[in-house]
Structure 1
Amino acid sequence: MSHPLTVAAIGFWHVHAGDYARDAQRHPDTQLVAVWDDDEQRGRAAAEEFGVEFVADLDELLARPSLDAVTITTATDQHRDVIGRAIAAGKHVFTEKVLAPTVAEAEELVDLAREAGVALVVSLPRLYDDYTVAIERVLDDGALGELTYSRVRLAHDGWVAGWLPEQFADPEAAIGGALTDLGCHPAYLTRLFHRAEPLSIQASYGHVTGRAVEDNAVVTAEFPDGRLGVFEASVVTTPGAFTVELRGTEASLMFGFGGERLLAKGGAFGEEWRELPLPERRPGAFAQWVQHIHDGTIADDNLRHAVELTRIVVASNESAATGRTVPLEPAFVPNVRNGRA
């Protein structure tokens, strides 16, 4: 393994592809060395932008002994194939959510990475933000009592302002619309805040712009003991919005309603809304990936979130398509053979 780690950017289909290429250039322990894309024109443009080599043959690139790792931001329907090929070549993988189009494929990729001894990490950035850290501390302290209801909403103006690429409206390449891409963040936060796996999913999708995929989505997840979690996404909202509302038997939390502030009320917090301090955020997913590579460890928590996120997204898409509540299968248990990557 080289130092710094040599990284190739695989695919520039996704809007965050450039962000991860920049991460590879900025991190002191990684070096961006090449770009591949199944669209040669797009790939060559990205390689020129980042000042690195464009490689037209993916297998030739993955076979290079000098290459340590890859970031993968292809179309979602290509994830199983491309991530699988990278793992088979012994390359560490950092990839965009969702991990794979199906739960079985996501579970398979996690097991393949573990067996191959490579570090696989999925970009789930809001797990590590300052407000998430603060909310988790309140939940762990028991200050809310029992969390009975949550609502997390994330929205932007991508299809109103025209900056969201049209490939995001391709139901085959994107595996869904607003919920599958943007709604992933409220989905995994909802699971995190409830400290449990949902028992069932009921989803409703809206098609304001008439595209083949939804541009508005509302999902209700039922958790044990009758607790409810609502998560929402929209790509036709101006201005954009990110809000969190948590209601417990003793107190409530709110974030993002009119400002980037975390507010608490009730119980130990008093009868008026009180602003809580935001601690330092955790290291981001890319930095954690690099650390896992150096330590030879497995990103168990990240991968558990990634697989369960796929399960929730698949169930949401099924519910919206059928108009039925979809019960969820038991949570993923990885094929653990040892504790290291």
Structure 2
Amino acid sequence: MSKPLKIAVLGFWHVHAKDYARQTQEHPGTELVAVWDDDLALGEAGAEQFGVPFTADLEALLGRDDLDGVVISTATNAHRDLMVRAAKAGKHIFTEKVLAPTVTEAEEIIAAADDNGVKLVVSLPRLAHGYTQAIRDVIGAGGLGRLTYGRVRLSHDGAVPRDGNEGWLPQRFFDRETAIGGALTDLGCHPVYLIQLFLGADPETVSATYRSVNGRGLEDNAVVTAGYRDQKIGVIEAGFASRNPFTIEIFGTDGSLTYTETGNVLRVSGPAFGGEDQQLPVPDHGNDPFAQWVDHITNDTRADDNLARAVELTRMVAAANESAAQGRTIPYSASDGV
């Protein structure tokens, strides 16, 4: 790359916006040149922190000939309109998950990107983590036998009151109109796309139970169960109300696998592994989604797998939210969101 790509951050609504701004400054192939936000306070604070200009004029920013791409980390309900607008302006797009509230909107975003030659990547970072590849290798080798059950849990204590405060997670994460959903729609995306990777993205049914431990407006404690036609069960757990080790469990007719981030430990058991519990090595992480985005822009390639998984992630989140709202198990295939 002869010179860095010039990138603007659009929106500091999401807590990861600062991480992406930092990545933009640290990656040798990108340069952070501007910040926009429809919330002036958030945008101006972000621009000041990273030492770049703030603009309130989105049309002028997207019209800049020297701007190559945008990082979009606005409220979830703004994704579709903003991304389609950026795509039509010819700006490459890196975005926080979920891609959109509904599958229809997600597909409209992808179509706009394709129609305008824009490279679009959604941040699904745990797909590139070393333990994910190691687990895929174990499953692919067949040592677990026929898979019967998978469970992924991810939580933090962002909604738990501390020292007189309601929690470190901003209240905007509990606004139904802008956030679309709570713990499942945000943090739960990671367990969703991992269960889809390990067990498949085509369950027959989805059942969701949401609870609000701290009463901040949306669920901060969520469990989603996916039932598959071949009788597998996938369990997706997410929460803002407790800090637990990130864990993965995969069971089959011939063996079992567990992973915990505490110590980065991956264990397997079963006849294929000598009949005893074994600890397997966990490789280093691969390129993160931001680096993948830069590579796709540089090499003029499309993020086929990332975009397909982003659509199915949206489908599952929408189905879970629908199930929780209706208080019943729902068919998965027709779900599109609300």
Fold-level match, TM-score > 0.5?
yes
Is the Cα–Cα contact under 8 Å of residues 308 and 331 in structure 1 kept in the other structure? no
Unmatched 5+ stretches in structure 2: none
Q: CA deviation at 1:315?
A: 0.5
Distance, in Å, in 1 between the alignment partners of 2:307 and 2:334 is 16
Identity %: 58
Tell whether the 8 Å contact from 1:197 to 1:331 is kept in structure 2 after alignment: no
> Which residue is 1:6 aligned to?
6
- The 3 A distance-change label for structure 1 pair 177 and 2 is farther
Distance 1:66 1:24, change over 3 A: same
Q: CA offsets per residue over residues 57-103 of structure 1, 9 Å max, x none?
A: 11110010000000000000100111111111000000000001111
Contact 2:171–2:216 (CA under 8 A) maintained in structure 1:
no
Letter matched to residue 243 of structure 1: T
Cα offset for 1:260? 2.1
Deviations 1:95-137 (A, max 9, x none): 0000011110001111111111110000001111111010011
- Say if 2:245 and 2:262, in contact at 8 Å, map to a contact too: no
Moved over 3 A (4+): none
Deviation string for 1:168-221 (max 9, x for gaps)?
A: 010111000000001110000000001342222110001111122101000000
Give the Cα separation in 2 of the matches to 1:258 and 1:291: 32
TM-score in terms of structure 1 length: 0.94
Tell me what 1:179 maps to.
184
Q: What does 1:1-341 correspond to in 2, within 5 Å?
A: 3-160=3-160, 161=162, 162-237=167-242, 239-256=243-260, 259-329=263-333
The two structures, once aligned, show a CA RMSD in angstroms of 1.6
Aligned-partner Cα distance in 2 for 1:231–1:329: 18
| TM value normalised by structure 2 | 0.95
Amino acid at match of 2:111: D
Check whether the contact 1:2–1:66 (CA below 8 A) recurs between aligned residues: no
Aligned residue identity for 2:126:
R
Tell me whether 12-21 or 260-269 shows the greater mean CA deviation.
Answer: 260-269
Q: Deviations over 1:132-163 (max 9, x none)?
A: 01001111111111111001000111011411
Q: Deviations over 1:304-323 (max 9, x none)?
A: 11110000001000101111
Deviations 1:280-330 (A, max 9, x none): 222110000000001111101001111100000010001011112121227
Q: Is the 8 A contact 1:150 1:245 kept in 2?
A: yes
Give, in whole Å, the separation in 1 of the partners of 2:148 and 2:46.
Answer: 47
Distance 1:331 1:193, change over 3 A: farther
Unaligned runs of 5+ in 1: 333-341
Deviation (angstroms), 1:257: 7.4
Q: Distance in 2 between matches of 1:257 and 1:115?
A: 41
- Tell me which residue corresponds to 1:335: none
- The count of residues paired between Structure 1 and Structure 2 equals 331
